[in-house]
Chains A and B, each alone.
Chain A
Amino acid sequence: MTALLSTEEVVVRFGVLQAVSQASIEVHAGRVTGLIGPNGAGKTTCFNVITGLQEPTSGRVRFDGADITGRSPSKRARLGIARTFQKLEVFGSLSARENIMVAAEQRRAWDRSGFDPATVTQEILDKVGLADVSEFMVGTLPTGTARLVELARALATNPRLLLLDEASSGLTEEETEEMAVLLRRLVAEDGLGILLVEHDMSFVMGICEFIYVLDFGRVIASGTPAEVQANPAVQAAYLGTETVEEAS
């Protein structure tokens, strides 16, 4: 099975700081892949490279077999890549419905299946559970709800690959549960590929089929949740021993 998305030896350098070093990861359709690592490991930077917000210093990004390294973010969206952001990037002065509507309308630029953006928006509102707050301006919503708006907005572009950066932060326990159910449904029913950055370990271990562990920009381990948990390098990275000298 070829991967939906693959990054090949991606390097991102900010001045003297190497935020991502030779990171190669693969995401497959129809399953949730996890990307974990301590703070500053380079997870968000990886997301930025995949979505085109950050140009890599070297390395390639492939989507569905095609090399998309130089493409603009909007072109990548048209190919079917969507994401949410760690620090909220909602459209604060639009209502929740409008946030989703913008994305659905935009989708018409490349998806000629003749769908009605208003209907699609309503469906997604129901699916994500935002119907009650659909008319509120998103700037006034609590963080957890705003996160759901971002997820809904990403879904409205009808993506094949969904990147979620810290999807569960700001959510209550109950909402996290619902999120897990929703993600499983998206993967199973719609065949999406999901790449998930997450600090909540029980959430990650419960939902991901495959996990990459990033530390100081390097992939230090990968495998099933069980394999990753047993890996001594991963434990060291999370406990913060050993790796200190590597950093300096």
Chain B
Amino acid sequence: MRLKFSPRLISAVIVALIVVFIGHQNWGQASVSGQTIATFLVVGIALGGVYAISAAGLVVTYATTGIFNFAQAAIGCFLAFCYWQLTIKWGVPVLLAIAIVLLLIAPAIGITLDRVIMRRLRDAALVVQLMVTVGLMLTFMGITLTIWTPKSPRSVPHFFEGTKGVQIGDVIATWHRIITVAIALLVAVALRFLLYRTRLGISMRAVVDSRNLAGLTGAKSSVISGASWSLGCMTAGLAGILIAPETGLVVENLALVIVVAAAAAAIAQLKSLPMVFIGGLIIGLTEGFTSVFLNFGTDWNYAPQAIPCVILFIALLFLPQARLETGKVRLTKRTERLTRPWEAALGGAVMIVLVGAWANGWIPWISGTTFGQRSAVWLGRGVGFMIVGLIMLSLVPLIGWAGQVSFANYAIAGVGAVLFSHWGGPSGNPLGIVAVMAVCAPLGLLIALPALRLKGLYLALATLAFAEFTDKVIVRHPKMISPTATGVLFKPMDIFGIHISSDAADRKAFVIFLAITFALLFFMLELMRRSRWARRWIAMSDSPAASATIGINLTTTKMAVFMLSGAMAGFAGCMLGLSQGALRVDSFPMFIGLPLVLLLAVQGVRYPVAAFMGLIGLASFPALSEVLGNPTWLTQVSLIGPGIAAIAMAYRPEGAVFYSGRDLAGLLPWRADAREEKALLDQRTRDQDIGRDEINDLGLTRSFTREKVAQLDRVLSIADAVDEHPMVTGVSR
């Protein structure tokens, strides 16, 4: 038999090995008996029910609006806190509180989101769509943390807490769990009824198929999208309220449900509602199984939390290959010319001078603050910002050019830091950095392997799962970061005559060293943008189908960019370790990787200079805070910062660098071309907006007749069977 190179096979083998290894390491002593099996079923089914509710909302919004809502679980978390406030704090009766949360607050959030943001995203690039919802997710987490500061632990009681529940054999199923399962079933039936039997639901399904078709039903597209966002928020809230008693009312835990929901949604291929419930059950049962039969020792303390990630990976392996779709090209009427090499060199030099001048204290600042003056604390922060900038830089070719949205680069940097603490770090050997980069490059690729043949959204999900897996399994293993080890992890290092380490005395040199490295990498990327590699990546991102028909092998082309990006992230990771001097097991949570991508995307993913602007933006919050005397309102503003960024992106999809760059160039007397471009673009945008309004108006006057419903149903039942159709189908292939 001829063994063919298959990314799918390789990833399948790797995932299987990891699962078997961890399972074997931790096989518990629980005997397999009727009792243990019943326990695991009761726990598993109840968990599965909650997950399915959340995932069902995710699928409904995705199928009807085309937007995957990363904020789903965070909104659920916010709503669960609202519920807590109403019932526990204000003593509102439970049923009334549930009604207020689910029928009042949730739809209000849904409709607002739809009005203000989501409607603008219909035709936006995938990265913009994703980053906007990621921004919302961080905002909802931030708002919740601000209103309900996590000083005292809160808990939501189970329904009918104190009652005994139902005895099934030797096992007791609590009323809360029984109610959960009942509600899950109810939600399934209700959604099915809504989507297939009501006028609104039929329109919601039609809108996916074609907006003209939706016009036939007489429903305004605004009503439809408002309804689906409300529905998404309601299911999110329901899941939040049901799961909060189990996980505790903790923001991170509740927001993490998004990984689980994403896994269940991936099992359902983001379209089949029945499969969503099966997916939820699979995950719930697996978690129930591990909690009963596996006995995780201290080495794998957090591994159970990574179960949904592993399941997500496995689900990706089973998904059918995405077709190369045609007719989906979005022409973003963007005008720009390539940066010339001398301009890039000048830009790099300016960066070095700026950072160098700041590090030396040459930039005057308001007296009384330590920001402008060199202080060890601020120089240390400066090092941190530069490293974040390096990670953002590593995302430019990957996301900006090749269009591969990845949230894993911070996690890769984390792995890089850990590896460096084993190789080269302790001896201060720069060759260790090379070794780490050589490992991180294929690591970047490994994460992407299962998703290479799928559409872009799945890649984003896979990288999210990997980031979570890294945090919960890899870096927390004592062989990776030992909490008890003594001795030096990172010896000071001399590179090109610059002495860098985490010592306060070396920080200035470190900042300058990083500025030089950053500028060099920036220059390299700008040159690279003019190379055949970047052209090929951009071509692939603009039209995969056309790229394939001119002979581009999409798989190897994607692999190359993942390796480049992984190596750059690995380098940043080494610097991260070196700058901190020590590593903590909780330094690399998944939730840090997200704002990093957002920060870059707001500035403009396509442009290397955006990474620099991003790090300046990041630095500006603490800097401003210090200058203004650390007011608390600023801290709160920084919590909703991601939300502001998200809204900004919905209105300025190309990123700030693009718009301000064009405006600034227009100010230069010799850049008449920039002024013309701006006028042209503004005109086009206006034309487009007018066109959109006209389309929206079309559906208004049509009535909804029986024949039209019949016609729609005919079309829809044909469409149901069609390959890759993002429809909320009753049957899955």
Contacts and interface: CB of A to CB of B under 8 A. Distances in A.
B718 A48 contact: no
Contacts of B535: 94, 98, 101-102, 105
Contact of A139 (B331, B547, B719): B331
A175 B532 CA distance: 31
B31 interface: no
A109 B557 CA distance: 13
A112 interface: no
Interface stretch (A26-34, A84-92, A230-238): A84-92
Interface in B666-690: 680
B208 to A, nearest CB: 16
B549 interface: yes
B542 A105 contact: no
B527 to A, nearest CB: 15
A169 interface: no
Given A78-B551, A102-B532, A157-B550, A91 B335 contact: no
A32 B554 CA distance: 31
Contacts of A136: 335
A14 B722 contact: yes
B330 interface: yes
B539 A92 contact: no
Interface in B313-332: 323-324, 326-327, 329-332
Contacts of B549: 51-53, 73-74, 76-77, 81-83
Contacts of A17: 718
Contacts of B336: 137
Nearest to A138: B331
B543 to A, nearest CB: 4
Interface in A93-141: 93-95, 98-99, 101-103, 105-107, 109-110, 117, 135-140
B525 to A, nearest CB: 16
B551 A77 contact: yes
Nearest to B536: A102
A91 B542 contact: yes
Contacts of A73: 324, 545, 548-549
Nearest to B719: A15
Interface in B536-560: 536, 538-539, 542-543, 545-554
A105 to B, nearest CB: 5
Contacts of B337: 135
B151 interface: no
Interface of A is mostly: mixed
Contacts of B554: 74
B546 A89 contact: yes
Of A85, A86, A98, A140, chain B has the most CB atoms within 10 Å of the CB of A140
A53 B548 contact: yes
Contact of B326 (A53, A101, A109, A117): A53
Contact of A93 (B334, B545, B723): B334
A218 interface: no
B170 to A, nearest CB: 50
B720 interface: yes
B333 interface: yes
A156 interface: yes
B457 to A, nearest CB: 20
A153 B549 CA distance: 10
A74 B558 CA distance: 14
Contacts of A103: 550-551
Contacts of B338: 95
A87 B326 contact: yes
A107 B551 CA distance: 7
B553 A91 contact: no
Nearest to B530: A98
A78 B720 CA distance: 35
A36 B296 CA distance: 67
Contact of B545 (A82, A89, A101): A89
A204 interface: no
B721 interface: yes
Interface in A142-157: 150, 153-154, 156-157
Nearest to B335: A140
Contacts of B333: 139-140
A91 B538 contact: yes
A72 interface: yes
A87 B329 contact: yes
Interface in A60-81: 72-74, 76-78, 81
A106 B546 contact: no
Contacts of B539: 91, 94, 99, 102
A102 B329 contact: no
Contacts of B550: 77, 82, 102-103, 106, 153-154, 156-157
A1 interface: no
Nearest to A109: B551
Of B338, B548, B554, B606, chain A has the most CB atoms within 10 Å of the CB of B548
Nearest to A143: B331
Contacts of A247: none
B545 A74 contact: no
Contacts of A14: 718, 721-723
Interface in B426-483: none
Contacts of B548: 52-53, 72-74, 77
A91 B543 contact: yes
A156 B554 CA distance: 19
A16 interface: yes
A90 B551 contact: no
Interface string A1-44: 00000000000001111000000000000000000000000000
A87 B332 CA distance: 15
A98 B67 CA distance: 31
B551 A88 contact: no
A106 B536 contact: yes
A89 B328 CA distance: 8
Contacts of A98: 535
Nearest to B684: A140
Given A51-B549, A77-B551, 12 more contacts: A15-B718, A15-B720, A15-B721, A85-B326, A89-B326, A92-B542, A95-B338, A102-B547, A103-B550, A107-B551, A139-B333, A140-B680
16 contacts: A14-B721, A14-B722, A15-B719, A53-B545, A53-B549, A54-B323, A73-B324, A74-B551, A83-B549, A88-B329, A94-B535, A109-B551, A139-B333, A153-B550, A157-B550, A157-B551
Interface of A: 14-17, 48, 51-54, 72-74, 76-78, 81-83, 85-95, 98-99, 101-103, 105-107, 109-110, 117, 135-140, 150, 153-154, 156-157
A-B pairs, top 9 by smallest CB distance, nearest first, are: A15-B721, A77-B551, A73-B548, A89-B546, A87-B327, A91-B542, A139-B331, A103-B550, A89-B543
